Amino acid sequence: MSATPIEDQLKNGEKLIWSGKPNPEELAGAHAGAVLMGIACISFAIIWHQVVFQNVTIGATGIVMDSVQVVTWLFAGLGSIFLSIPLFVYLIGAHYMLYAVTNKRLMIIRLFPTASVQSFPINDVFQVNSTVLYGMGNLLFDLPGVKQNHLQAYPGFYGIPSPLRIAEVFNTLKHPEHAKRSAEEKNKLKDYMERKKQDPQWNKKPSINKVPVPSSHLHLMMEKKTGEIVIRD
């Protein structure tokens, strides 16, 4: 039986905990900055053509005319590439991308145009930030030295079901001692609620019966408070 693309990436002692696929729409939406850059490049190409190319003097040499045309087509081509990025990413996310969480790292696996793997060791990720809407959402990795790039999606899992559950899995792997303490506290609370449900009187504070204090004791208490020494028969 042949191994899956994720199993092929597992190392010795590494266990697969969760795997999934991105929502292609969410993944393409993360590259919206490329669309803006494409619009800007094409707009520049149009303005350059209208303002510069149309106003070149009649006596200009062929080299000048060719240079102006090269700039126009260069920015037009560059803009077209930027505009096509979200569509390309959509197709990759829909058919050729996998996500995985193991006991050692987070993985983003791409199968096209060439097989590639982005690995993020658990200890190298500061934390994960999740966004949820109707049960689906994103899980972004907070990594050292990585800044937001408007042309490229921030490293993370996009459009996955129950991202909060995956974030909890990451926190358990990142801080096992905290997870163990949290589990113990949850078990104690669960036991307390079960016992209280079975016996409503359990752990109820006993009522305090007020006992009248004799007048002689009251005098003694007042004398101690004021610091006076009074000898009574």
pLDDT in tens, 178-191: 656 666 666 666 77
pLDDT at 103 over 80: yes
pLDDT at 229 over 50: no
- 125 vs 10: CA distance, rounded Å: 19
Report how far apart, in Å, the C-alpha atoms of 198 and of each of 62, 191, 195 are: 95, 11, 5
Residue with tokens 């619009």: 39
| Domain positions in the chain | 7-172
What's the pLDDT at 71?
A: 86
End-to-end alpha-carbon separation of the chain, Å? 103
Residue 95 makes CB contacts below 8 A (sequence gap 6+) with 112
Q: Is 0.85 surpassed by the pTM of this model?
A: no
Tens digit of pLDDT for each residue in 13-65? 999 999 999 999 999 999 888 999 999 999 999 988 887 766 665 555 556 66
- Write down the mean pLDDT value for the chain: 80
* For residues 154-172, average pLDDT: 92
Residue with tokens 């996998």: 98
Winning range, highest mean pLDDT, from 82-86, 111-115, 219-223:
82-86
- 104 vs 130: CA distance, rounded Å: 20
Residue 57 makes CB contacts below 8 A (sequence gap 6+) with none
What's the pLDDT at 182?
A: 63
8 A C-beta contact, residue 197 and residue 179: no
* For residues 82-106, average pLDDT: 94
Please count the other Cβ atoms lying within 10 Å of the Cβ belonging to residue 163: 24
